[in-house]
C-alpha cells in the first residue's frame, strides 16, 4: 500500500499533465479550424431579402428595438412595491389578536412609511399617465 502511494506521488507533477494539455489544445484547435473553414468555404448569397429578420415569411413591420415610455416601468415597479406591502398584512391578520396593541403600532408605522411614499409619488406626478 505504501509503495503504491509513493508511485502516485511521483506521477503527480506538472510535466505529466502535458499530454492532457496537448489533447485539450488539439480539441479546441480542431473545433476552431472546422468552424472557420466551413464559414470560409461554404457558399453564401448575401442579398437584402435574405438578411432581413425572419418573421415567418411575413413582411416585417419595423424593429422590435423601440424605446418604451418610462411610465410602464414606473407603474409596474410601484405595483410590485404595494403588492408586497399587502402580502405582509396576511401574517398580521392571522396573528391579529395575539400581537395586541404593540403589534398594531408596528403595523401602523409600517403602513405610515408606505403612505408617505405614496404621497411622495403623487406629488411627483409619477402616476399621471397622460403627461
Instruction: Identify which of residues 49 and 98 has a Cβ nearer to other proteins in the complex.
Output: 49
Residue with cell 480539441: 27
Residue 48 within binding range of other proteins, rule CB under 8 A = yes
Residue 125 within binding range of other proteins, rule CB under 8 A = no
Residue of 2, 44, 61, 65 that binds other proteins (CB under 8 A): 44
Residue with cell 411575413: 58
- Which range binds other proteins by CB under 8 A, 24-32, 38-46, 92-100, 104-112? 38-46
Q: Give CA–CA dist 41/44, Å, rounded.
A: 9
Closest approach of other proteins to the CB of residue 51, in Å: 9
Q: Going along the chain, which residue ranges are E strands?
A: none
Residue 40 within binding range of other proteins, rule CB under 8 A = no
Q: Tell me which DSSP letter residue 46 carries.
A: -
Contact track, other proteins, 51-90, x by CB under 8 A = -x-x-xxxx-------------------------------
Which are the contacts of 106, defined by CB distance < 8 A and separation ≥ 6? 99
Instruction: Identify which of residues 37 and 76 has a Cβ nearer to other proteins in the complex.
Output: 37
Residue 47 within binding range of other proteins, rule CB under 8 A = yes
What DSSP line would sit under 102-118, residue for residue?
HHHHHHHHHHHHHHHHH
Which are the contacts of 121, defined by CB distance < 8 A and separation ≥ 6? 78, 127
Q: In residues, how long is the chain?
A: 131
Contact residues: other proteins, CB under 8 A: 42-45, 47-50, 52, 54, 56-59
Amino acid at each position: 500500500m505504501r509503495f503504491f502511494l509513493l508511485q502516485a506521488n511521483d506521477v503527480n507533477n506538472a510535466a505529466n499533465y502535458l499530454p492532457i494539455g496537448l489533447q485539450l489544445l488539439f480539441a479546441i484547435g480542431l473545433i476552431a479550424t472546422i468552424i472557420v473553414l466551413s464559414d470560409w468555404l461554404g457558399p453564401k448569397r448575401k442579398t437584402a431579402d435574405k438578411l432581413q429578420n425572419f418573421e415567418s415569411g411575413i413582411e416585417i413591420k419595423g424593429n422590435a428595438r423601440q424605446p418604451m415610455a418610462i411610465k410602464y416601468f414606473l407603474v409596474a415597479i410601484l405595483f410590485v412595491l404595494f403588492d408586497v406591502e399587502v402580502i405582509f398584512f396576511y401574517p398580521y391578520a392571522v396573528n391579529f389578536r395575539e400581537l395586541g396593541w404593540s403589534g398594531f403600532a408596528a403595523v401602523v408605522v409600517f403602513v405610515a412609511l408606505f403612505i408617505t411614499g405614496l404621497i411622495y409619488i403623487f406629488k411627483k406626478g409619477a402616476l399621471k399617465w397622460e403627461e
